[in-house]
Amino acid sequence: MPKGSWFLPRASELRTLYSNKAAVNAALQTLGGETIERDYSYYWSSNENSGRYALTLNLSNSIVHYNGKVYSTPYARCAVAY
């Protein structure tokens, strides 16, 4: 993936984000970005189970769950390749 390209993280990358949430939030606040402190918010990952389901990760407690792509509304937290 070329440097500077945006992508949807895998579930394992979202878990790394969760593990480093305090440092990530501090950096996001410094840059004027939105923090990841929402309670019980699920975020999409790029991991799919089928054409209808994808893994989501709750960034308040790191629980992984399959959500339907059509009828659920998790957040997306894109990343930049470096």
Q: Provide Rg for the chain, Cα atoms.
A: 13
1, part of any domain: no
pLDDT per residue over 8-53, tens digit each?
A: 999 999 999 889 999 999 999 999 988 887 666 888 999 998 888 9
pLDDT at res. 51 = 84
**Angle between the 21-31 and 11-19 helix axes, to the nearest 10 degrees?**
80
Angstrom distance (rounded) from CA 40 to CA 75: 11
**Model pLDDT, residue 32:** 94
pTM for this predicted structure: 0.80
What is the number of alpha carbons within 13 Å of residue 25 lying toward its C-beta? 11
Residue 58 belongs to some domain of the structure: yes
The CB-side HSE value for 7 (13 A sphere, CA atoms) comes to 15
Element at 58 (helix H, strand E): strand 53-58
Write out the residue range of the structural domain in which residue 34 sits: 6-80
